[in-house]
Amino acid sequence: MSIDETEISNKREVIQFALDAGTIQLSNGAEIWRVEDTISHICRAYKVEDVDAFILSNAIFITGSNEKESIFAKVKHIPMAGVHLGIITDVNDLSREIASGMWTVEEAKVKLEEIRNQPPNNLIYRGVSAGFASGCFGYILGSSVTEAIVTMVIAFVVFLLSVYFEKKQLSKMVKNILGGAFIALMALAATYIPLIGTISVNQIIIGGIMPLIPGVAFVNSIRDLANSDFLSGTVRMLDTIMVFMYIAIGASTVLSLYHAVLGGAL
Amino acid sequence: MNLIINLLCAFAGTLGFSILFNVHKKFHLYCGLAGMSGWLGYLLFIERTSPAVATFFGALVVVLMSRAFSVWKRCPITVFLISGIFPLIPGSSIYYTAYYLVTNSLEMAAVKGVESIKIAFAIVAGIVFVVSVPRKWFNLKYWRRGAKDLK
C-alpha cells in the first residue's frame, strides 16, 4: 500500500470511530449539539480536518475529504434505544480525554466498546425508584399520604408494564394509551379497597403517569430549540406533545366510561 | 414543617428519577439537590404569583444549579437538568385538559389547556435564559480574576 492509501484508510477509521461515538450518544438521549461536539472534537484530535456532520434527532449524515477527493460518506439511521445518561457522561469524558491526546484510535475503540456495553440499572431497582419517586411527586403535587402510597404501587406496576410493552415492540401510541388507561383503572380499583377512606382518583392518576412522561424528549427539545437546531427541536417537541396526549386520552377515556356505565361516584 | 417534608419529597423524587435514567451513582445526590432547590424556588413564588410565573422561577433555579454542578463536576448538564425539571413539568394540567375534553366541559378544558401551555413556555423561558449565559461565568476562578482586575 502506498503512503497515500494508508493515510486515507487511517482517516476513514477515525471518522468511523467518531460516527460510532456520536451514534451512541444520540441513541441514549443526548442533545444535537453535544453529538456535533463529540464528532468534531474526536476528528480534530486525530488531525482529520475536513469532516462535515449533519445531525437530526434520529440520523447522522457524515462526510470527510482530503485535498483531492472525498474519502468518507455515510448516512446512519439511529432509533432511540432508551435513556442512559451514564453512557452520555462516559462518552463525553472519553472525547475530552481524546482531545487532550490520552488515547490512540485503537485504545479509544476498546474504551468505547466498554462504554457501549454498560448495562442499565437492574429492572426492579429502577421500577422501585420510579414508583417511589412518583409517590413523592404525587405528594408534593397535592396528594394525601394514603394517595401517595397507592400512587407508589401503581407507578411501580406501570413502569414494569411500559418496559414490557417496549420489549414487545408495541408502538408509542398503543403503549401510552394502554398505560394511561391502566393507571386510571388501577386508581378506580383503589377506591374500592376497604377502610381506605376517601381518596381522589385524579390525584392518583397525576402521580401515576409520572413514569410515562417523556421528560427527556421534552428537555432535549427545548435545548435543541435554544441552540437553533429547529428541525430536531420541533420533532422532539411534537413527540412530547403526542405522548402526553396519548397518556391523557387513555386515562380520561377510562374515567368517562366508568362515569357512563356505573353512574360515577367520583 | 410542611415545607421541609415537601422539600424532602422533591429531593427523593428527583433522586428516584435519576436512578431511572441510569445516572452514575456519584451524581445522584446533586440531581436530588437540583430538583429540591427548583421546587423551593417554585414554592417561594406560588403563593403570591400564578403557577406559570412560579414555574419560571423554579426552572430558573434548576437550570442554574445544573449548570453550576455541570461545570464543577465536568459532566453534561443533561444529567442534572432532566431529573431536576421533572416536578415542574405540567403533567397535571395536561391531564386535566384531556379529562375535561373527554367529559365535554370545554370551557374548563380551555382554561387548563392554556394553563399548561403557559407553564411549558415558562420552563422553556427559564432554560433558554440560563443556557445563554456564558459558560465561564459559572467558573469561580473567573470571578476571582474579575475582582483582581477591578483593583
Strands A70-77 and A51-56: unpaired
Place of cell 441514549: A28
Of B83, B94, B131, the CB nearest to A223: B131
- pLDDT (tens digit per residue) in A33-42: 899 989 999 9
Q: Does the model's ipTM exceed the 0.95 cut?
A: no
User: Which residues of chain A are within 8 Å of residue B5 when distances are taken between CB atoms?
Assistant: 139
Find the closest chain A residue to B5 by CA distance. A140
Please give the pLDDT value at position A104: 86
Query: What share of chain A has pLDDT > 70, as a percent?
Result: 98
| B2, B8, B17: best to mutate for the A interface, most A CBs within 10 A | B17
Cα(A247)–Cα(A155) distance, integer angstroms: 13
Look at A136 and B82 and tell me if their CB atoms are within 8 Å: no
Of B16, B78, B103, the CB nearest to A136: B16
Average pLDDT, chain A: 88
Segment A164-173 long-range contacts (CB within 8 Å, at least 24 positions apart): A166/A82, A172/A242, A172/A243, A172/A246, A173/A242, A173/A246
Cβ-Cβ contacts under 8 Å between A and B: the total is 163
- pLDDT (tens digit per residue) in B41-71: 999 999 888 889 999 999 999 999 998 898 8
Q: What are phi and psi of B143, to 5 degrees?
A: -75, -35
Task: Cell numbers for A85, please give them.
Answer: 445518561
Among A186-200, B105-119, B126-140, where is mean pLDDT lowest? B126-140
**What is the band of A259 on the pLDDT scale with cuts at 50, 70, 90?**
confident
Find the closest chain A residue to B92 by CA distance. A206
- pLDDT (tens digit per residue) in A108-149: 889 899 998 888 888 999 999 999 999 999 999 888 888 999
Read off the pTM.
0.86
Strands A59-65 and A51-56: antiparallel
**What is the band of A24 on the pLDDT scale with cuts at 50, 70, 90?**
very high
Cα(B46)–Cα(B26) distance, integer angstroms: 32
Please give the pLDDT value at position B148: 67
**What is the band of B149 on the pLDDT scale with cuts at 50, 70, 90?**
low
| A38, A41, A89, A246: best to mutate for the B interface, most B CBs within 10 A | A89
Find the closest chain B residue to A136 by CA distance. B9
Strand partners, A72: A64
